[in-house]
Chain A
Amino acid sequence: MEKLRRLKFKELAKQGEVIQIKTLAEHNMETGVRRDPDTGVIYPRLIIQKVTAKYNGVIVFKANWFSGVSANPYLAFFVTAKESGLIEVEWKDDYGTVSYKRGYLKVTDKHNKEVLPVEYNI
């Protein structure tokens, strides 16, 4: 079943503004130190190890997690808005399975015009 991944931030931002980005992943982060109460079998460790955030293809933030992070991990960090573009977040599992979530951030300047990463004339 597809697990829930959530990414939330301000849709419209001014240039130079610092915006908060909140992420949430649905994962029960098995620590590997828990036994089945009846049979005594150890539940094997299965956690999210790495979270990377990219802003227009440039890595902005990285997190390495160990077994001490809570289940359904929530993470909030900050990014300065320079130009409008994609914000991508990637979660990497213990077994290397990767899940993505991305969203579009629109950035405007003083005259309420969108700041695009590439200038072009049509």
Chain B
Amino acid sequence: MNYTKRNIIKLFCMAIPLLLTRKVCADGNPYRDRFQSYRQTFRIEPNKEETEKIIKNIIRERTISKGLVLLDVPDTAEDGNVVPVHFKINCSMKGNDFPKKVHVLGLENPFPEIATYEFFPEVGKAEVSFRCRMRKSSYLMIIAEMSDGRIGLEKKYVDVMLGACS
């Protein structure tokens, strides 16, 4: 390639969008590891800064209203591979009063986001039960994004006897 003025300008123009996209991806985007299976990452140590970034990115300067989320987790879980989680969101599933998205985060997991659930007004109750993995005894957090812009947050400490390696 010739280092002419035109080519150098072209290179700079190509570099600008690349830099911008890198900044967006690095900023604790909850969907950051969409391509994880291709990148083949290996991480066991939890990253506290990243979890904070992820939580900040979900909440995005909105105020938290109390009493929205009811979380039901055992205080002590025998096996970290199977921790039964049951949550319910206090709302009347009518009009604008339903949760759009509910995030389940296990703080101090190597990849803190466990699951996100999307609800539609056809569902009668915003209530889900499933089982998750936890590496250490730590907080389990649920963030509910309501369709009218409110946010509910609830966290509970779970004592894990035998940690999972996720």
Interface residue B128 (Cβ < 8 Å from any Cβ of A): yes
Task: Indicate whether A68 sits within 8 Å of B122 (C-beta atoms), given known contacts A32-B42, A33-B43.
Answer: no
Complex interface bits, A49-85 against B, C-beta within 8 A gives 1, otherwise 0: 0000001001111111111111101111111100000
Interface residue B82 (Cβ < 8 Å from any Cβ of A): yes
Q: Size class of B's contact patch?
A: 35 or more
- A77:B123 contact, CB within 8 angstroms: yes
The secondary-structure label for the interface of chain A is strand
Residues of A near B166 (CB, < 8 A) are: 31, 33, 67-68
Residues of B near A80 (CB, < 8 A) are: 122-124
- A60:B114 contact, CB within 8 angstroms: no
Residues of A near B97 (CB, < 8 A) are: none
Interface residue B81 (Cβ < 8 Å from any Cβ of A): yes
A13 to chain B, nearest CB (A): 11
Residues of B near A61 (CB, < 8 A) are: 117-120, 123
B71 to chain A, nearest CB (A): 15
A57 to B132, CA, bound (A): 29
Residues of A near B122 (CB, < 8 A) are: 55, 58, 60, 79-80
- B131:A74 contact, CB within 8 angstroms: yes
Complex interface bits, B122-156 against A, C-beta within 8 A gives 1, otherwise 0: 11110111111110000000000000000000000
